[in-house]
């Protein structure tokens, strides 16, 4: 999958237009964000590749600072391609330049709300069957002749676990 940029939901709402997660499909593989300098005259764009196994030393850079968003995207893309080559992997569908992916949250103004769609509830028959499976497992473990494992009670309670003090 080609890399895509998503607004970082963990950043403050006013920073979401300048803080992006870099995604390969559903896997977060990096981040690009703007860092203002103390005197606010300049800004720096930081980029990082993470969430994947680190390549051998000298193969690629995993982070950097660029003077512009475009430069940060280009540097991250270049190093991502180096990682793919090192890992003997390739993008599905061919290489596509790193682009922001438009989502409902990204395309709307900051501060507005986005309607979330609830997940469909499981059918009643699925719930009944899963409850029966759990009850069946509990009954079979109660009658199991196997000894209790680590973290399971043997019925001794606190009394059986008291230590005797050594005389002084």
In the prediction, which pLDDT does 113 show? 41
Residue whose C-alpha is closest to residue 25's, from 47, 3, 8, 9 = 3
The mean pLDDT of 136-147, rounded to a whole number, is: 54
Domain count of the chain?
A: 1
135 inside domain: no
Burial (CB < 10 A; 0-12, 13-18, 19+), residue 74, is: middle
151 inside domain: no
In the prediction, which pLDDT does 114 show? 40
33 inside domain: yes
Taking only the tens place, the pLDDT of each residue in 1-46 is 789 999 999 999 988 899 999 999 889 999 999 997 777 677 899 9
Distance CA 30, CA 51 (A): 7
Per-residue confidence band for 135, with pLDDT thresholds at 50, 70 and 90: low
Per-residue confidence band for 91, with pLDDT thresholds at 50, 70 and 90: confident
Query: What tokens were used for 147?
Result: 């000894």
Taking only the tens place, the pLDDT of each residue in 37-74 is 777 677 899 999 998 999 989 999 999 999 999 999 99
Residue whose C-alpha is closest to residue 81's, from 24, 18, 9, 155 = 24
Residue 43: give the domain boundaries: 3-106
68 inside domain: yes
In the prediction, which pLDDT does 109 show? 43
| Main-chain phi, psi angles of 107, to 5 degrees | -90, -15
- Full-model pTM: 0.56
66 inside domain: yes
Average pLDDT of the chain to the nearest whole number? 74
96 inside domain: yes
141 inside domain: no
């Amino acid at each position: 999958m080609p890399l895509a940029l998503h607004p970082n939901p963990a950043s403050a709402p006013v920073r979401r237009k300048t803080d992006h997660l870099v995604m390969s499909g559903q896997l977060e593989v990096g981040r690009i964000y703007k860092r203002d300098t103390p005197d606010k005259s300049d800004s720096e764009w930081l980029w990082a590749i993470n969430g994947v196994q680190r390549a051998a030393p000298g193969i690629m850079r995993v982070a950097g600072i660029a003077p512009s968003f475009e430069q940060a995207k280009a540097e991250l893309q270049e190093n991502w391609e180096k990682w793919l080559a090192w890992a003997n992997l390739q993008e599905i569908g061919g290489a596509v330049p790193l682009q922001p992916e438009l989502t409902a949250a990204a395309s709307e103004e900051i501060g507005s709300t986005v309607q979330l769609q609830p997940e469909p509830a499981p059918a009643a028959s699925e719930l009944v069957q899963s409850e029966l499976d759990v009850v069946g497992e509990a009954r079979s473990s109660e009658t199991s002749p196997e000894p209790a494992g680590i973290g399971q009670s043997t019925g001794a309670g606190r009394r059986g676990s008291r230590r005797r003090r050594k005389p002084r």
